[in-house]
């Protein structure tokens, strides 16, 4: 899986110093964007080509809390590449102890510039096919 690290900021937490649950979805987005960047493209370039990748489903299983100042590794991989969709898998791991804090998926459809489902351009499909693949389970 592709790894990218972030630190839990004070603004990410509630009064108890625990990361607010919606931040995990934000971290999933960071992992997804950095995975694409590591493959040689960016969300900006994908969108500039006339393609959008809206989220159609998001899942997150919370196992342990992330807390203020924790260093987190966002692990991201492609779980499934369909004709007009892609599913990414994520793991949020606390560094350096390696505790798995959460795992989840996001499913995206490819939409053309008119908002219709579309196959991804060949170059993007090839990039995603080269991406790290998720293994079953958390």
State how beta strands 71-81 and 55-62 pair: unpaired
d(CA 7, CA 41): 24
Catalytic residue among 14, 97, 99, 112: 14
- Nearest Cα to Cα of residue 104 among 65, 129, 67, 77: 77
Active site residue 69: no
Lookup: tokens for 57 = 């489903």
Question: Which active-site residues does the annotation give?
Answer: 14
């Amino acid at each position: 899986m592709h790894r990218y690290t972030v630190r839990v900021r004070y603004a990410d937490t509630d009064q108890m110093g625990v990361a607010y649950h919606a931040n995990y979805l934000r971290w999933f987005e960071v992992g997804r964007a950095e995975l694409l960047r590591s493959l040689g493209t960016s969300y900006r370039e994908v969108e500039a080509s006339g393609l959008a990748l809206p989220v159609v489903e998001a899942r997150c299983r919370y196992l342990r809390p992330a807390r203020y100042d924790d260093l987190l590794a966002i692990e991201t991989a492609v779980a499934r590449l369909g004709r007009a969709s892609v599913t990414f898998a994520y793991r949020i791991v606390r560094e350096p102890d390696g505790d798995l804090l959460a795992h989840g998926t996001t499913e995206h459809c490819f939409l053309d510039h008119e908002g219709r489902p579309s196959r991804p351009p060949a170059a993007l499909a090839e990039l995603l096919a080269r991406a790290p693949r998720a293994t079953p389970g958390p």
